[in-house]
Chain A
């Protein structure tokens, strides 16, 4: 059975074990891949960065490795897709529920959604990943796209 995440996760939009200094840099890098892949308009990148600054998406997770799920308005999206980054060093995002607090993040899913209701399975799958500390840990170890897919589909 194909996992709803991996259907929307394209090899060019997965950045593994990379180094960034800020949440803006992470969103810019992954967003650029989504743009090059033809999934989003050029406006998506700036919109996602601004949205993250106003309404952050950092999430403290059970296993201590935290995640963020940046996204923005559907008007910037051409085709639904998912970008992903695993970070060698923690990058500070701010906490979704308490924006004054920072959350050191090592896993980022950049969501490009055009019809959220149609992409509910993928969104639920992302939430399932976030709720599975072993899988989060496992994803951070992977060095290539195939192994990321195998980890997601094996979970």
Chain B
């Protein structure tokens, strides 16, 4: 089995929003047979943690020059465009 991909999930305080988003990503990818590990962080911590991640999913603005793909989305909170974002995540992980 492949090593699980590592997704860094960022939001403002790493309390509420990223908790929901991390869980939703894990479930959505599990349904597609993709195993991932998620780690939550505050937007301010993204830069120092980016090196350990295959992908960053964030609900709040983060720097763009991180050397890791970044997907900025509210879809896991609002439902708007969720399927498209899940596809985007799957594609981004394939390239890793």
Contact = CB atoms under 8 A, between A and B. Distances in A.
Contacts of A127: 20, 24, 76-77
B15 A74 contact: yes
B60 to A, nearest CB: 6
A19 B42 CA distance: 33
Interface residues of B, number: 21
A59 B16 contact: no
B77 A130 contact: yes
B78 to A, nearest CB: 5
Contact of A97 (B15, B16, B24, B74): B74
14 contacts: A59-B74, A59-B78, A60-B78, A69-B16, A69-B77, A96-B59, A97-B59, A97-B60, A99-B60, A119-B19, A120-B19, A120-B23, A124-B24, A131-B77
Interface of B: 12-13, 15-17, 19-20, 23-24, 43, 59-61, 72-74, 76-80
